[in-house]
Amino acid sequence: MASEISFAKYHGCANDFVVIDDMDGSLSRFFHDAELMTRMCDRHLGVGADAVLRLTRHDKHDFLLENFSHNCGTASGLCGNGSRCAVLFAADKGIIKKNKGTFATPDGSHDYNIAGNNLVSIGLADVLKCQIVHHNEDEFYVNVGSPHLVKFVSNLEQYDVKGEGPRKAWSGSYADPDVTGVTGVNVNYVENVADSTCRIRTYERTVSAETEACGTGSVSAAVVSVFRDSVTRDSVMRDGVTRDGVTRDGALKHSVVRDSVPTDGVSTEDVIRDGVPKDGVARHGDGSQAFRERTVHMINSGGTLTVSFREEPDRFSHVVLSGPAEKVFSGVFFL
């Protein structure tokens, strides 16, 4: 029986992980030991990490990634930054030999891409707008592979994340897996600081603490920030006329046109060159919006993550999380 486990420590914007190569499956029994997983994550008695990541073989994808939580040592949902670190680890170990491919997690398959300076991107599943729960003007719930509550606040730096985060994470329906399908929710506090730029702080349910960065939290906050803007935009429409004075129908397509040019002065010909919209908006032949390309920069405590996606009438598609990943050190953990 093995008396030690080889590992490497990686981080993505200071969201840190113990990463283990178990491609041959010889270490599988250790991942059923929740106490061992929590001990490895312990910052005083172990390696110190927000989670333990296991890479093992998969029949259809480059590898299968499992995420074991810091606070209880059991398998958890999708981890965005963990996935990006796992991709870089797989490249460093020679598990993958190309910059693009796919990997599997319990929530499905994901694309990955490795660019220069260890910039790692992963793809996530579409987010349906009908699945975003709008609690009130400032609070929204969405599941992007992991469950997230997004709350928009002011003065984020001074906000009591440590005090309020755990209360919200385990309150009401979020404490009942029969209601949400999971136990607890990650709580993201978000402040808009500029166009397409937000600051974010996240209390993670599987760490029982605020973390330096959260990948799926950044994705959730990015899509919800755009969704929230669209809800606000719809609410200010009066008799089909928006505050900017442009008359549109419910699908937000231009309904007032003179000489093939909408009243806001944007013609289809001006918008698209070589199939690429100048303003990021692709339109159907009748001028109605097909999708809008979006990029939102999420400033976490440990660094900035970029979330890009297409805003379609009923969903957010082509969701990509990008940011730096880095190896910190490698070693062996004595059992």
Q: What are phi and psi for residue 216, nearest 5 degrees? A: -70, -30
From the list 13, 79, 85, 198, the catalytic residue is 79
Q: Cα separation of 305 and 215, whole Å?
A: 7
Q: How many of the other CB atoms lie within 10 Å of CB of 224?
A: 29
The contacts of residue 122 (CB under 8 Å, 6+ apart) are 80, 83, 84, 87, 110, 111, 112, 113, 320, 321
Q: Cα separation of 269 and 260, whole Å?
A: 9
Of 108, 46, 102, 51, the C-alpha closest to 75 is: 51
238 DSSP assignment: B
CA dist 257 to 92, 162, 247, 291, Å? 56, 53, 10, 20
Q: Helix (H, G, I), strand (E, B), or coil: what is residue 174?
A: helix
Structure tokens that stand for 191 in this block = 């402040």
Sign of the alpha-carbon dihedral angle for 208, 212, 214, 217 = positive
Phi-psi region of 13 (alpha: psi -120 to 50; beta: other; left: phi over 0): left
Q: Cα separation of 281 and 169, whole Å?
A: 36
| Residue 13 is a catalytic residue | no
| Residue 130 is a catalytic residue | no
Decide: 218 and 308 in contact? Cβ < 8 Å: no
Q: Cα separation of 82 and 95, whole Å?
A: 16
Of 125, 183, 185, the C-alpha closest to 149 is: 185
Amino acid at 67: N
Q: Helix (H, G, I), strand (E, B), or coil: what is residue 192?
A: strand
Q: Which residues are catalytic?
A: 79, 214
